[in-house]
Chain A
């Protein structure tokens, strides 16, 4: 049903997922400017912008912190591709920025667009001519395919089976509740709320949703930060890693100019590697600011490679899941046997370092346990999370109040979410389940 609806504000990344100089996020729907304006540095300019104009400024999060510097291209109603009020956000093409913006849009009540939905709206609003029957047919059939089961094309084999299994369990659970609502108390056996089954289902859906982090890691990459005192050889290692690795995009300066970043791939995981300003005390205000930023970067990192000079040990942080201590200059001083030692000069030990990085990144992920099932799409993840949220509320409700009618509302919402992943569930399906599973009827 949502597919025919043009009232929601929808958004999608219009440029490919991945790193690039510039990314474009497209938003369409009446009221989108008003929705976005509280999170834009020049709200009035955004709201009052005329059709086909550009507005420059910063996107802000709920705490008014800047997410990114952006240019907004505005279309008012009756113009542009969809003929709806629309915004195109041009932002920096960093995955972190893209993710932060998409996540903001979701939080402020916009909806992640379904495949072909912009085109669908363009069609609905008469932007595309119906007399071009063939083109329309083709266009719409792509929309309809996606609507039948939007993510089906992406949901292959076992993942699809797994979601179907979850849906089956939920359907059984819902039928157990619905039968209590469809028949009167005295017609049925004593009812015990299937608390355990619901809790199990919440866990299963939750762990499948959690695999999104794994998918996200492979898709969006990990942040790895090179840290350590000045002159421990961070830059040498940085350059060496870039040389070793063939899939480099190209190093360029970060917009903040406090660190250098570059992309490489380790064990199939795209990595954004940061060479930071050395951590040292400084009187220089500019440099102090740089250190603050480095610390922030370290805080956000998936993994920190803390480089230590074997010839001048100094401070050595404790290793933890996120910190890998690496001893440089192994060509000069032989480090202890159980340590990870490299020579950024000769390249000795770099293979082992890369392996260690890969292992660490994979180890920090939730235990998959679902075999190789991994949720990759943001939309799939949202739907699973939505289902889980509704089920958690159902569980809480069933614990606190003794009314099944609202519990059923939550269960149905969870089923709708799963249904959007693998195909709609009709009320007939629930009745079928009731009739086949329960001996009912006077």
Chain B
């Protein structure tokens, strides 16, 4: 055996997967088509956002790397939705994409147990029964073996880029696609489909008329995504805002037939939540303008990202419509926008551990599973890496609950319901959103990261100290009064903030801001959280009823035929997961419960 583990792909999923495996102690090889683009921010030069910022902090709490990378490369920081309520606030940062990219490669290079190799994987070797993974085959003819494999191909597997009538096999503009692997996997019986996504043009900073656009500044105080330190010191750059107009829309409408999407050249399904500008114009004809954020791609570059006008229209049309936009009349396009279509593998073919049901030892993560977004990719990469390591250790996989983490919601949705479009996280996908605040990610997940061997003892100690401080603040408040009222009770009132109490309650200002903030939210939301707890308890009881994935559903009498088929496809880890499968009836769940109670769930 050449390595314990191989990770294919050096994107956000591949980085986390390979670091997790190597850090836990397994000899790992990362194979990528291009070492120079490890951790590339292919689209938006930003990390975080609503629910995504929470996921970055979840990755950090488990012992992943993404938060460190963005903390050291951010060039603007903002907390989004300050006015919408704490449960849905999240951090977002603009990244200097060169720094991000370089730090990612540096981190991998500095990691013990981790080897990096530039080549393209074209096939997998399996055992004689085609049931067990054995190794990879590369374009240059290398055969490399390992005990487990994590596949993170992003948009590269049979990737094809479209700009108007022009198309080329590529995963990013100017970077060739990984040809062969998708075909090989299809031949092996994997359910491979096509998805599509897109990116806007980048224009030259010096060609923008800044007097005609609005400035969007970052927050005065930058805060780290990681729980490992309490402050970041980075430069803060401005972003800018402008809008499309009727003329822009007219140009797009008149040329819509030349779009590969509307012309029928692209068959892959694109994301509804991140539509191209031509989609927005067609679907919302009543709107006379659409917002565009102009974001710097980094320090030391002239390239500016036009967030909001992703397009695959021909370049002459892109030129025309961009020049119709206020502030961009003379904009010099440095890279055109384009659409990319790529192979993905239906995530219903995965277990909640992200291991394939078809081939033992093969884990799949990231965009290959039909998701979209750096954060979505990274958290899957981390979980796939952790679970590949768990498998090597012969231990149970780490499966996060929907009430524990957005990461849990994401993976559960993928492997239980599947996805028809590139899946992006939204806060509304989480039933127990109030429990998934970004500031509590460490409380939710640090211990789990420690249990799988990724978090160090000191992180666990740090968490315990934080929990102690939270309790100490609550005790202090309970013991003190505020205007003849118990201070803890006073904090329950909407208008009384912890800052108000700090002025008069002695000893309170000795505690750090994050602790005080947590106490404030815990107390203010207690009523809602209690109400939700009943549902959570119910949810957890069903999740706790485990089913062996190898369980033979044919031995259970009384299951509906559709339910039986669906259960055999998804092969859930728990009754809870079974109950979320479309087509599985309540009666099927009831029969399963009885069967399991009678000890029929073990193989």
Contact = CB atoms under 8 A, between A and B. Distances in A.
A178 interface: yes
Interface stretch (B16-24, B203-211, B321-329, B536-544): B536-544
Contacts of B586: 3-4, 140, 143-144, 147-148
A116 to B, nearest CB: 10
Given A141-B587, A182-B426, A431-B428, 20 more contacts: A1-B535, A1-B538, A124-B590, A130-B558, A133-B557, A133-B558, A136-B558, A137-B587, A183-B50, A185-B83, A403-B84, A406-B85, A409-B434, A409-B531, A434-B428, A440-B273, A441-B271, A441-B272, A441-B280, A442-B44
B284 A439 contact: yes
Interface string A1-28: 1111101000000000000000000000
Contacts of A256: none
Nearest to B494: A401
Contacts of A306: none
Contacts of A406: 85, 87, 525, 528
Interface in B29-60: 44, 49-51
Nearest to A188: B291
Interface string A163-184: 0000000000000001011111
Interface stretch (B449-457, B471-479, B594-602): B594-602
B92 interface: yes
A435 B272 contact: yes
Contacts of B585: 144, 148
A7 B538 contact: yes
A404 interface: yes
A403 B293 CA distance: 26
A124 B431 contact: no
Contacts of B307: 442
B335 to A, nearest CB: 17
A366 interface: no
B179 interface: no
Given A3-B586, A136-B591, A143-B586, A442 B50 contact: no
Contact of B579 (A4, A137, A442): A4
Nearest to B420: A428
15 contacts: A124-B590, A136-B558, A137-B558, A137-B587, A140-B558, A181-B81, A181-B84, A181-B88, A185-B80, A185-B81, A186-B216, A186-B291, A402-B83, A405-B85, A427-B428
B241 interface: yes
B81 A184 contact: yes
Contact of B274 (A137, A184, A186, A442): A442
Contacts of B308: 442
Contacts of A182: 50-51, 426-428
Given A141-B587, A403-B84, A406-B528, A5 B429 contact: no
Interface string B518-541: 000000010010011001011101
A413 to B, nearest CB: 8
B84 A180 contact: yes
B213 interface: no
Nearest to B537: A7
A403 B429 CA distance: 19
A178 B433 CA distance: 12
A3 B538 CA distance: 11
Interface in A120-142: 120, 123-124, 126, 130-131, 133, 136-137, 140-141
- Please tell me the size bucket of the interface on B: 35 or more
Contacts of A383: none
Interface in A175-210: 178, 180-187
Interface string B262-290: 00000000011111000010011001001
Contact of A184 (B49, B287, B595): B49
Interface of A: 1-5, 7, 120, 123-124, 126, 130-131, 133, 136-137, 140-141, 143-144, 147-148, 178, 180-187, 400-406, 408-409, 427, 430-431, 434-435, 439-442
A15 B152 CA distance: 62
Interface in B118-160: none
A143 B280 contact: no
B589 interface: yes
Nearest to A136: B558
Counting chain A CB atoms within 10 Å of each CB, the highest count among B92, B275, B532, B539 belongs to B275
B392 interface: no
B189 to A, nearest CB: 28
Interface string B374-394: 000000000000000000000
Contact of B538 (A5, A405, A408, A440): A5
Contacts, number: 143
Contacts of A181: 50, 81, 84, 88, 427-428
A133 B426 CA distance: 43
Contacts of A120: 590
Given A4-B590, A5-B541, A430 B86 contact: no
Nearest to A135: B558
B460 interface: no
B593 interface: yes
A423 B260 CA distance: 40
Contacts of B591: 130, 136, 140
A1 B589 CA distance: 10
Contacts of A405: 84-88, 433-434
A403 B85 contact: yes
A185 B431 contact: no
B440 to A, nearest CB: 14
B84 A430 contact: no
A126 B532 CA distance: 30
Contacts of B92: 184
B291 A143 contact: no
Contacts of A434: 273, 428
B538 A187 contact: no
A4 B593 contact: yes
Contacts of A3: 586
B238 to A, nearest CB: 13
Counting chain B CB atoms within 10 Å of each CB, the highest count among A187, A439, A440 belongs to A439
Contacts of A430: 428
Interface in B282-311: 283-284, 287, 290-291, 293, 307-308
A137 B97 CA distance: 59
B287 A439 contact: yes
B557 A130 contact: yes
A140 B80 CA distance: 48
Contacts of B84: 180-181, 185, 403-405
Interface string B411-435: 0000000000000001111010110
Contacts of A141: 587
A1 B44 contact: no
A7 B534 CA distance: 10
B229 to A, nearest CB: 25
B291 A187 contact: yes
Contact of A144 (B429, B433, B587): B587
Contacts of B538: 1-2, 5, 7
Nearest to A174: B428
Interface string B233-276: 00000000100000000000000000000000000000111110
Nearest to B293: A442
A1 B579 contact: yes
A255 B109 CA distance: 90
Contacts of B575: 4
Contacts of B429: 427, 431
Interface string B565-599: 00000000001000100000111011101110110
B490 to A, nearest CB: 16
Contact of A4 (B83, B275, B542, B558): B542
A120 B591 CA distance: 10
A126 B594 contact: yes
Counting chain B CB atoms within 10 Å of each CB, the highest count among A123, A130, A148 belongs to A130
Contacts of A130: 557-558, 591, 594-595, 598
Given A1-B538, A405-B84, A435 B273 contact: yes
A124 B427 CA distance: 35
